[in-house]
């Protein structure tokens, strides 16, 4: 019994050490350099404890301590991260998450990426219903009137969005398609605020889509995932639950890509 208690205590101590190390590294990543006192305040660690962890990280080459006693991350941290990114295949990582979302909501799931002034489907999970949305991997879709596309636009800078609007024509696909740049801008602001986008018969009549962003380790939107319904199968009273499921799935995938939502 005593041995088990000792092992449990050791495990907890090791876990605590890992958590503290990660907290220190994440805090250092937000600063070009920082002194011990400021780092202690941000990590909420006692200076003596913090100094012990920092000494280890310095000796391992992950942290640099300059002559003025300022601490910063070294490029070794970047090297480790970049090697990890080489092994991440977005579609491979997204595949089980998209399937779970499809199983949960029962409808077709798409993942798309931005390609020039359009988006292209790179992953699709088919609804089990007989009546389905026609689409295929490789199909291109407009940005301004689709849930996936609006997510991509919402991540652009003002200058990038201006260039996009100058380069394309807001062609009406349905009576619901947004054709006013100002109205599109207002909707993009709302998308940034709420974290998800909708396409309510804006690209295809009789079809509603809800989508959310997928971010990489820098916070940049690298893809978006959406779920599509024939309008007659969509229950507006379920929209809040549905959008939560979609955003949760996309945030989970984003975390696998290194996004920390800091």
Same domain assignment for residues 51 and 154: no
CA pair distance 91, 45, nearest whole angstrom: 39
Same domain assignment for residues 184 and 76: no
CA pair distance 191, 205, nearest whole angstrom: 22
Instruction: Calculate the average pLDDT of the chain.
Output: 86
Same domain assignment for residues 99 and 163: yes
Same domain assignment for residues 68 and 158: no
> Which CATH number is 26's domain given?
1.10.10.10
Query: Would you say residue 11 has pLDDT above 70?
Result: no
Same domain assignment for residues 76 and 97: no
Same domain assignment for residues 65 and 182: no
Residue 49 CB contacts under 8 Å (≥ 6 apart), including other chains: 20
Same domain assignment for residues 72 and 98: no
**Closest alpha carbon to 22 in 49, 51, 47, 57:** 57
Same domain assignment for residues 71 and 176: no
The answer to whether position 261 is within a domain reads no
pLDDT tens across 162-197, in order? 999 989 989 999 999 999 999 999 999 999 999 999
> Which CATH number is 117's domain given?
3.30.450.40
Tell me which of 121 and 5 has the higher pLDDT: 121
Query: Would you say residue 1 has pLDDT above 50?
Result: no
Tell me which of 70 and 9 has the higher pLDDT: 70
pLDDT of residue 261: 72
Q: What is the mean pLDDT of residues 134-161?
A: 88
Same domain assignment for residues 71 and 193: no
Residue ranges making up the domain that contains 49: 2-83
Query: Would you say residue 36 has pLDDT above 70?
Result: yes
pLDDT of residue 258: 82
pLDDT tens across 221-235, in order? 999 999 998 888 888
pLDDT band at 7 (very low <50, low <70, confident <90, very high): very low
pLDDT of residue 218: 84
The answer to whether position 204 is within a domain reads yes
Domain count, the chain: 2
CA pair distance 80, 74, nearest whole angstrom: 11
Same domain assignment for residues 62 and 130: no
**The last residue of a domain, from among 51, 83, 115:** 83
**The last residue of a domain, from among 62, 83, 104:** 83
The answer to whether position 171 is within a domain reads yes
Query: Would you say residue 14 has pLDDT above 50?
Result: yes
Same domain assignment for residues 61 and 98: no
pLDDT tens across 205-258, in order? 999 999 999 998 888 999 999 999 888 888 888 889 999 999 999 999 998 888
pLDDT tens across 118-136, in order? 888 888 888 776 555 666 7
Q: What is the mean pLDDT of residues 143-164?
A: 93
Query: Would you say residue 88 has pLDDT above 80?
Result: no
The answer to whether position 110 is within a domain reads yes
Q: What is the mean pLDDT of residues 24-29?
A: 90
Same domain assignment for residues 204 and 93: yes
Which stretch of DSSP H or E encloses residue 246? Answer: helix 239-256
The answer to whether position 262 is within a domain reads no
**The last residue of a domain, from among 67, 83, 99:** 83
Strands 34-35 and 70-73: antiparallel
């Amino acid at each position: 019994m005593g041995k088990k208690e000792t092992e449990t205590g050791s495990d907890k101590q090791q876990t605590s050490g890992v958590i503290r190390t990660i907290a220190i590294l994440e805090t250092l990543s937000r600063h070009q350099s920082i002194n011990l006192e400021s780092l202690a305040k941000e990590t909420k660690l006692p200076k003596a404890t913090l100094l012990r962890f920092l000494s280890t990280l310095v000796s391992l080459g992950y942290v640099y301590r300059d002559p003025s006693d300022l601490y910063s991350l070294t490029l070794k941290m970047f090297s480790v991260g970049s090697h990890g990114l080489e092994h991440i295949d977005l579609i491979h990582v997204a595949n089980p998450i998209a399937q779970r979302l499809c199983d949960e909501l029962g409808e077709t799931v798409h993942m798309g990426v931005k390609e020039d002034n359009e988006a292209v489907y790179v992953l699709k999970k088919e609804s089990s219903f007989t009546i389905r949305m026609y689409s295929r991997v490789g199909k291109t879709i407009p940005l301004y009137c689709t849930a996936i596309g609006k997510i991509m636009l919402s991540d652009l800078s003002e200058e990038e969005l201006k260039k996009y609007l100058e380069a394309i024509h807001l062609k009406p696909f349905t009576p619901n398609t947004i054709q006013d740049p100002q109205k599109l801008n207002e909707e993009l602001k709302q998308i940034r605020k709420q974290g998800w986008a909708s396409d309510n018969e804006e690209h295809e009549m009789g079809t509603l889509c809800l989508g959310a962003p997928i971010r990489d380790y820098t916070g940049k939107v690298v893809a978006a995932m959406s779920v599509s319904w024939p309008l007659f199968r969509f229950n507006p009273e379920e929209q809040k639950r549905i959008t939560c499921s979609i955003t949760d799935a996309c945030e989970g995938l984003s975390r696998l890509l290194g996004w920390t939502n800091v």
